[in-house]
């Protein structure tokens, strides 16, 4: 009797975890370029083994983690991945309509007596100490939770219809200004196709609604775009050897990087975001924009790959293609090239949360700081700092850089890197990157180095 063996296809099989609350690991491996259909282990293309063929078993591997098959989209584009969102949407078209046919029930599994159920190990058994006072991610894992969150989000049809991603509030943490469904899509707890169909069902009932790229459907298509480009671009997760990545001579300053990673930059908006990331494993996308810009082209001029690794390790929704794609975008290394548009580590957060409630929650050391100083505590008089029980330089760190000065230096460095970059020649080698770095260093030898000033401040 012939039968079919189904093996799920996942391009996001970079890390295997049980759910949003699971331990976090780090990996920067890239997807296989030989086939989009990966085995269930994500290690090699699936091919029917001889014993399956002999037994009359047909092995097939459907693309189920995405709306579209990236390989098909790339084939439509002449074998090259589309490098703009608009061209991708035009090429991809609409995803296939969900099947409505019903299936018979599977036969019973048989006698399972004699199998012992294993208990879930306690936290202490896993080597952790007393965590009773720790703040953990409020997002539970699993399909049941995913469907519950989806249902709750779709109940507000007006919110779904009028959703515009750029207008979200990054400081909203008690009730996030988005669906927070990304972790569930990442782990396969929620089907992207089911989500897409549910959104279109809502759109049919409300009539007028927002459109891609800012709508909720548009966010799913961004996911598809990055999956497709990542699948079709060798070395997508690095600068060297990546033909679509600008070759920028990023600085190597471990001290500044660690200060950013640990939330000790002296900028409360940036530090609060990094603490939320560490504790929750999640933050709003505009908060991610803020800290990514600050690390790279905005203030510290540190390599986007280092920030990518931190997000990969800590984010519960970390997805290899999307994480790398966003870091390429936000560092102006690819996709987006308006490097003069910089997120202010002071005014951007203040626009959404003038009272600083977000900062007070994640940085309790600043909870008593008056709101006029909460985003710039170094400007508070010493008497105010004492009253707030927060002395700058003692209880909370001094700024590692002066934003106005650092951002100007970063703009100059980006302009020089762009001028020297040979991306158009399809050359992306280590030699070119080193050459760019030497040229920039030579050009800056005649003027004071902002990097040297930064090192002095952080010590």
Tell me, what CATH number does 274's domain have? Answer: 1.10.579.10
Q: Is residue 85 part of a domain?
A: no
- Greater model confidence, 22 or 367: 367
Domain that holds residue 417: 254-458
Identify whether 241 is part of a domain: no
Strand partners, 251: 302
Question: What pLDDT sits at residue 110?
Answer: 79
**What H or E segment, with its residue span, contains residue 3?**
strand 3-6
Residue 331 domain-assigned?
A: yes
**Domain-embedded: residue 211:** no
State the alpha helices, DSSP H only, in 117-244: 143-155, 157-162, 182-187, 192-206, 216-232
State pLDDT tens for residues 370-395.
999 999 999 999 999 999 999 999 99
**Assigned domain for 277 exists:** yes
pLDDT at res. 20: 39
Residue 304 within a domain: yes
Helices 450-458 and 403-420: crossing angle, nearest 10°? 140
Whether residue 16 is annotated as binding a ligand: the answer is: no
Task: Give pLDDT, residue 209.
Answer: 97
Give dist(CA 248, CA 303) in Å, integer: 9
Judge whether 256 is annotated as a binding position.
Answer: no
Please report, rounded to a whole number, the percentage of residues in the chain having pLDDT higher than 70: 79
Q: Is 220 annotated as a binding residue?
A: yes
**Winning range, highest mean pLDDT, from 91-100, 136-145, 329-338:** 329-338
Closest CA to 326 of 223, 249, 398, 413: 223
> Would residue 223 count as lying in a domain?
no
Is 63 assigned to a binding site?
no
- CA dist., res. 294 & res. 126, Å (int): 36
Distances (CA, A) of 423 to 80, 332, 433, 439: 16, 13, 11, 17
**379 is known to lie in a ligand binding site:** no
295 labelled as ligand-binding? no
Report how many domains make up the chain: 1
pLDDT at 113 (0 to 100): 75
335 is in an annotated binding site: no
What is the per-residue pLDDT across 279-322, written as a single tens digit (0 to 9) for each? 999 999 999 999 999 999 999 999 999 999 999 999 999 999 99
Q: Any binding-site annotation on 318?
A: yes
pLDDT for 223-241, tens place per residue? 999 999 999 999 999 999 9
pLDDT at 128: 77
pLDDT category of residue 429 using cuts at 50, 70 and 90: low
Q: Which of 386, 353, 392 is nearest to 267 (CA)?
A: 392
**Residue 180 marked in a binding site:** yes
319 annotated to bind ligand: yes
342 assigned to some structural domain: yes
Q: Is 221 annotated as ligand-binding?
A: yes
């Amino acid at each position: 009797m012939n039968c079919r063996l189904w093996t799920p296809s996942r391009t996001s099989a970079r890390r295997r975890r049980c759910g949003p609350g699971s331990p976090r690991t780090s990996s920067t491996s890239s997807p296989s370029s030989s086939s989009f259909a990966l085995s269930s282990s994500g290690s090699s293309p699936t091919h029917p083994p001889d014993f399956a063929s002999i037994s009359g078993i047909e092995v097939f591997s459907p693309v189920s983690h995405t709306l579209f098959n990236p390989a098909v989209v790339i084939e439509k584009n002449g074998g090259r991945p589309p490098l703009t969102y608009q061209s991708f949407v035009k090429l991809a078209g609409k995803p296939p309509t969900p099947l409505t046919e019903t299936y018979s029930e599977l036969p019973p599994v048989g006698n399972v007596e004699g199998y012992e159920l294993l208990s879930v190990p306690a936290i202490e058994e896993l080597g952790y100490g007393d965590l009773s006072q720790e703040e953990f991610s409020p997002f539970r894992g699993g399909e049941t939770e995913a469907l519950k969150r989806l249902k709750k989000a779709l109940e507000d049809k007006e919110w779904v219809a009028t959703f515009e991603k750029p207008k979200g509030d990054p400081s909203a943490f008690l009730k996030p200004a988005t669906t927070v469904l990304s972790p569930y899509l990442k782990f396969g707890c929620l089907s992207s196709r089911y989500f897409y169909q549910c959104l279109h069902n809502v759109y049919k009932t409300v009539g007028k609604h927002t459109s891609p790229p800012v709508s909720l459907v548009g966010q799913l298509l961004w996911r598809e775009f990055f999956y497709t480009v990542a699948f079709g671009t060798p070395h997508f997760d690095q600068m060297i050897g990546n033909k679509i990545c600008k070759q920028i001579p990023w600085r190597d300053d471990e001290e500044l990087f660690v200060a950013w990673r640990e939330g000790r930059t002296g900028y409360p908006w940036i530090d609060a975001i990094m603490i939320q990331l560490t504790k929750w494993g999640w933050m709003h996308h505009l908060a991610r924009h803020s800290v990514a810009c600050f690390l790279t082209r905005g203030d510290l001029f540190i390599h986007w790959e280092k920030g990518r690794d931190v997000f990969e390790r800590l984010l519960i929704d970390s997805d290899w293609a999307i994480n790398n794609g966003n870091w390429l975008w936000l560092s102006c290394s690819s996709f987006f090239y308006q490097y003069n548009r910089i997120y202010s580590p002071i005014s951007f957060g203040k626009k959404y949360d003038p009272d600083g409630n977000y900062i007070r929650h994640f940085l309790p050391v600043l909870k008593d700081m008056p709101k006029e100083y909460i985003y710039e505590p170094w400007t508070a008089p010493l008497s105010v700092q004492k009253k707030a029980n927060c002395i700058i330089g003692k209880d909370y760190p001094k700024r590692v850089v002066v934003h106005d000065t650092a951002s100007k230096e970063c703009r100059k460095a980006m302009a020089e890197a762009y001028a020297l970059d040979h991306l158009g020649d399809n050359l992306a080698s280590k030699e070119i990157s080193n050459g760019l770095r030497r040229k920039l260093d030579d050009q800056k030898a005649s003027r004071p180095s902002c990097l040297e000033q930064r090192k002095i401040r952080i010590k």
